[in-house]
Amino acid sequence: MLFGGILLSLLGACKKPAEKSFDFSGIEKLLYSGELKKAELLADSIKATGALSATNLYKLDSMVDIGNRIRIDFVRTEEDVKKQLSKYFPVLDSSLFNKWEFTKKLEMRVIDGEKRYFKNAVANLFRLDDEARKQKEVVDGFQVDSLVLFKLEHTRKVISETKVSGETVLPVRMKLTYSIDVDANAVPDGELIRCWMPFTREGNARQKNIRMIGSDPEKYEIASNEHLQRTVYLEKSAQKDQPTIFRIEFEVETLAQYFDLNPDEIKSYNTESSGYKENTCELAPQIVFTPKIKKLANQILADETNPLKKVQKIYNWINDSVRWASALEYSIMPDIPGYVMDTRHGDCGMQTLLFMTLARSQGIPAKWQSGWMLHPGEVNLHDWCEVYFEGVGWVPVDQSFGLQDSPDEKVRDFYLSGIDSYRLIVNDDYGRELSPKKKYPRSEPYDFQRGELEWEGGNLYFDKWDWDMEVESLK
């Protein structure tokens, strides 16, 4: 699937278009092959005919915008990358550099005839290549990951406190202040900026006692909990030479949950239920049961029939085969699970999408969940999912947190059937319509954590604004 698949998602593709669709496949192919200038020239020539309806003109502009997003992600030149690496490799062997490119550990695309590297290519190289990482440790010294140590201690406590499988324990009360700063003059003076910010969902046992404290501007609109990607909506007019700042402040209590599951106690699914069908189906463009997905799932599971053992095998395979790495923006990725299979790396959401696709293809109900990880000193966006077991219910699964280094099997496997206390759930699905409806394509068409902004002239992409989350623990 080319960029058209992404475009349809960005536009909230309708099953019954109101008018005849125009063939943009030529532009689509140029974008996919990295010929962005040619794509733009072709788009301009099509516009010049004056034959496009408003809808098709909108689609065309949206496709060209994908090219701009690719440029933003692949911004570094070969000279930039080698300069970054010079601290660790003062004399860099060209064959080694070429090897990193060939193995996709140093992420590069040819764009308009020139090599361009992913903005986080060097940081990812040290995550993906063992020899490069060792050389970095020689120069910088070995650094202990404080989050790894925190998770080990915390998950031991969760397991110890859990007296009944699946109960919520170890509540944490927090005050969260989330802000977005739009760059000065990103929007003309006096123009209205529309802003959607992330807000916590209700109805999940793992978060409760939610209280909105205030916002800037004071007027805001919280989406109903029926919206599976929940927002706070605000508006503010831009002022010349001044950044436009949006801020919300709220309190929430979050809890941990651990399920001590036994394969022999897992019941067979009711495959005729609507819930089962909804959560085992394909959801294009990212959850698609391609031949590659089916082949890999069959290799991982062989003849396994027990639902819990299927989940364990998929989780363990990804843990052993895929490394965490900083991700491209999802809006420029037509097939995220396929990308992860090819490169053997991906961030939390990419690993989760691969897990969900493999699980669903094998009849295991799985649904997206995401928001924020709020661990002390480690506040960031984060994605995970939930898996349904008949007779148990929905069980949290955090694929990218992986197996922990512990001789205690329950601690080692904790994130296969448990979640820690430090999560903010914003989304219970991906790619859902925001409230109120957004006019222009989203910066992030699937997930929703940073927020979305637009004005009458179009969407405001991530390069036009910054976000910040402040966390205060409450007694």
CATH code assigned at 368: 3.10.620.30
Question: In this predicted structure, what is the pLDDT of residue 62?
Answer: 85
186 phi and psi angles, rounded to 5 deg: -65, -25
Mark whether 184 and 237 lie in a shared domain.
yes
Q: Which domain holds residue 66?
A: 3-73
Note the pLDDT tens digit of each residue in 35-86.
999 999 999 999 888 888 888 888 888 888 999 999 999 999 999 999 999 9
Task: Single out the residue in 14, 42, 73 at which a domain terminates.
Answer: 73
Segments of the chain with pLDDT less than 70: 1-21
Q: Which two tokens mark 146?
A: 């404080």
Mark whether 387 and 408 lie in a shared domain: yes
Query: If 0-12 CB within 10 Å is exposed, 13-18 middle and 19+ buried, where does residue 205 land?
Result: exposed
Same domain membership, residue 451 and residue 353: yes
Tell me, what's the pLDDT at 21?
A: 64
Q: For residue range 137-164, what is the model confidence (pLDDT) as tens digits?
A: 999 999 999 999 999 999 999 999 999 9
Does 281 lie in the same domain as 381?
yes
Burial class (CB in 10 A: 0-12, 13-18, 19+), 374: buried
DSSP state letters, 267-294 = PPP-TTSHHHHHTSS-BTTTB---HHHH
Clarify whether residues 9 and 116 are in a common domain. Answer: no
Residues 267 and 180 occupy one common structural domain: yes
Q: Are residues 287 and 188 part of one domain? A: yes
pLDDT for residue 54: 86
**pTM score:** 0.94
The answer to whether residues 308 and 257 belong to one domain is yes
Question: Which of 26, 53, 73 represents a domain boundary (last residue)?
Answer: 73
Domain end among 118, 140, 162: 140
Q: Count the helices and strands in the chain (H runs, E runs).
A: 15, 18
Provide the number of structural domains found in the chain: 3
Kindly compute the dihedral angle of the four CA atoms of residues 273, 278, 282, 284, in this order, to the nearest 10 degrees: 160
Residues 111 and 175 in one domain: no
Q: Give the pLDDT of residue 18.
A: 46
Can you tell me the distance from the alpha carbon of 328 to that of 318, in angstroms, rounded to the nearest whole number?
19
Residue 113 has which token pair? 């005839």
Decide: 419 and 257 in contact? Cβ < 8 Å: yes
Q: What is the pLDDT of residue 56?
A: 87
* 131 & 166 share domain: no
| Residues 264 and 372 occupy one common structural domain | yes
Pair 257, 368 in one domain: yes
Contacts by 210-214, CB closer than 8 A, 24 or more apart: 210/250, 210/251, 210/252, 210/253, 211/250, 211/251, 211/252, 212/248, 212/249, 212/250, 213/175, 213/249, 213/250, 213/251, 214/248, 214/249
